[in-house]
Amino acid sequence: MRTKMELVILVCARIWFVISCLVGVGAMRNSSTTTVAHEATAPGLLSYKYYETSCPQVESIVTDKLTPVLLSDPASSAALLRLLFHDCQVQGCDASILLDSDTSEMGSRKNFAIRNRETIGMIKTAVDSVCPGTVSCSDILVLAARDAVAMSGGPKIKVPLGRKDSNSSSHTFADASLPAANAGVSETLSIFTKRGMTIEESVAILGSHTLGVSHCVNINMDRFSSRQIIGANRTPFEALVALRCAFAPSFSNSAALGNDVTVTTFDNQYYKDVSGGRGLLKIDSDMSTDPRTAPIVERFAQNQDEFFKEFTAAFVKLASTNVLTGHQGVVRTKCNAVD
């Protein structure tokens, strides 16, 4: 038998539980508006309104400055998107990759062929001329990458802002944190699920390989080496890769092939290519046969809207996890140098 006091406590606890649940459900229902309003005033968090009063022009300055870059060199969209991934994957998106200007043998090997760092510095100078010392290099990099996606035909993504920059970078840490060129499905899924991505979002973020190229040095030739370069068993795609790359690494790092057929257009062609056996990197190829990812690859190959929807969610997660905010980090004066 419970005492009167125990019953009172039990009833109070139940009432408290019900009220908490109602408040919780209400907060979840209004999560977008509630979170945005909260983030706008809380210095420790990212917010969709972060620069609303301090630099309302930031997004239009980024777009204006980036447009001529992409018009004169459409391959820059791929470079900026990869730059963002390599920044966010190492210490969270903190613009540390912009400090690491050495991509030679002495620098990070996994940052091989990283380009367009100077584009972010150029945009930062333009932003600082209107809002001095306000906008971080890491936010500019995120905005530039999302504009690069949209300007190449991809989804227009709304991103929360308020990241701070770090004042350090490490080649060793970069090499330890970035995936190897021959990463497989399990390693790749573990990288993205750690950032809170679903398996659909993980497959969607790899759809970034709808843009750009891969150099032969990064293409796993084992899948091609056991047969003649042009032989009865070769598909036309295999013959192309083998012809282009079979001898290239021995004398040059410059030979490259498109990651999909439409290298400057952000579309779902990548999924059509990989599901048709034309995956260039190991991960592209493996994803189309692994039972965990193959059905999603097929879905995205059939339906570009589905891909864009999942990519949008994945991009925001990639760019928002483990970032410096509030009093952590700094707003660097120059993107390519510590203050």
- Residue in this structure with the two tokens 């012809």, named with its chain if needed: 243
Contacts with ligand HEM in 286-305 (CB under 6 A)?
none
Ligand-binding site membership of 90 (annotated): yes
The residue from 81, 142, 174, 287 that contacts ligand HEM (CB under 6 A) is 81
- Does residue 319 interact with ligand HEM by CB under 6 A? no
Among all residues, whose Cβ is closest to ligand HEM? 212
Measured from the CB atom, the residue of 74 and 121 that comes closer to ligand HEM is: 74
196 annotated to a ligand binding site? no
Residue 218 makes contact with ligand HEM by CB under 6 A: yes
**What's the min distance (Å) between Cβ of 46 and ligand HEM?**
18
Q: Does 206 bind ligand HEM (CB under 6 A)?
A: yes
Q: Angle at which helices 304-320 and 76-91 pack, to 10 degrees?
A: 50
d(CA 8, CA 333): 61
Can you tell me the distance from the alpha carbon of 206 to that of 268, in angstroms, rounded to the nearest whole number? 11
Size of the site for ligand HEM (CB under 6 A): 25
Q: Evaluate the CA torsion angle 305, 308, 310, 316 in order and state its sign.
A: negative
Distance, CA of 58 to CA of 47 (rounded, Å): 14
Compare residues 35 and 177 and give the one whose CB is closer to ligand HEM.
177
Contact call for residues 129 and 149 (beta carbons, < 8 A): no
Taking residue 224's Cβ as centre, other Cβ atoms within 10 Å add up to 18
Annotate each residue in 222-261 with x if it binds ligand HEM (CB under 6 A) or - if it does not, as one string: -------------------------------------x--
Residue list 261-290, contact with ligand HEM (CB under 6 A): 281, 283
Q: Is 96 annotated as a binding residue?
A: yes
Taking alpha carbons only, the member of 119, 151, 149 closest to residue 137 is 119
Residues 153-182 close enough to bind ligand HEM by CB under 6 A: 179, 181
Shortest distance, position 124 Cβ to ligand HEM, whole Å: 21
Binding part of the chain for ligand HEM, among 214-222, 234-242, 303-311, 328-336 by CB under 6 A, reads 214-222
Measured in degrees and rounded to the nearest 5, phi and psi for residue 44 equal -85, 5
Radius of gyration (C-alpha) of the chain in whole angstroms: 23
**Nearest one of 268, 209, 211 to 70, comparing CA atoms:** 211
Distance in angstroms (rounded) separating the CA atoms of residues 239 and 75: 25
Give the shortest CB-291-to-ligand HEM separation in angstroms. Answer: 19
Q: Of 42-50, 80-88, 119-127, 304-312, which segment contacts ligand HEM by CB under 6 A?
A: 80-88
Q: What is the DSSP string of 297-310?
A: HHHHHH-HHHHHHH
Active site residue 327: no
Q: Which residues pair with 214 in a beta bridge?
A: 257
86, 171, 215, 327: the catalytic one is 86
Residues 73 and 78: their CA atoms lie apart, in Å, by 10
Closest approach of ligand HEM to the CB of residue 219, in Å:
8
For residue 286, give both structure tokens.
């493996």
Buried b (16+ CB within 10 A) or exposed e, 298-320: ebbbeebebbbebbbbbbbbbbb
Q: Which of residues 7-46 bind ligand HEM (CB under 6 A)?
A: none
Q: Which residues are annotated binding-site positions?
A: 87, 90, 92, 94, 96, 179, 209-210, 260, 267
Which residues bind to ligand HEM, rule: CB under 6 A?
Answer: 78-79, 81-82, 85, 113, 179, 181, 183, 188, 191, 205-206, 208-209, 211-215, 218, 259, 281, 283, 318
Q: Which residues are annotated binding-site positions for substrate?
A: 179
Q: Which residues are catalytic?
A: 86
